[in-house]
Amino acid sequence: MFNDILELPERPRLFSPETMAYIGDSIYEVFIRSYLIEQGLRKGNSLHQQAVKYVNAGAQAELLQQLESYLTEEEEAIVRRGRNSNSGSVPKNADVVDYRYSTAFEALLGYLYLEGKKVRLEEVLTEIKGIIDEIE
């Protein structure tokens, strides 16, 4: 995405899961917004309402569970780190288990981005798109 503009850090694998999830959250948000526009949604309020369906902890936890068989061992290790991290607080509207899986989901996306694994990130996002298309 921005790899040609920004210099990615060395050894992002050593970053905390929270740091990986921080960037992964942004990647997923842009992906979902782009997906919704691709689906023909154009009005701001409709876009927001639809986006909320996909960017909440429960939806992300469900996506991660459906992705698990698609992940490499290395990616599974990142997911475990993300799931087991202690972020300190859970939003009021989120289930604790869903929130942990959601953090793991975002950490995976952030890790792939920070590692510069653009092709694999695109493969994972394409798989996510397929899962979402099946749900809809």
Residue whose token pair is 């997923």: 28
Are 112 and 31 in contact, with CB atoms under 8 Å apart? no
State how far the Cα of 62 lies from the Cα of 60, in Å rounded to an integer. Answer: 5
Task: Please report the beta strands in 40-114, taking only residues with DSSP state E, as ranges in sequence order.
Answer: none
Taken as a whole, the chain contains a residue count of 136
Collapsed DSSP state (helix, strand, coil) of residue 72: coil
Task: Tell me the residue type at 81.
Answer: R
Rg of the chain over Cα atoms, rounded to whole angstroms, equals 15
CA proximity to 67, closest of 107, 15, 20, 26: 107
Active site residues: 25
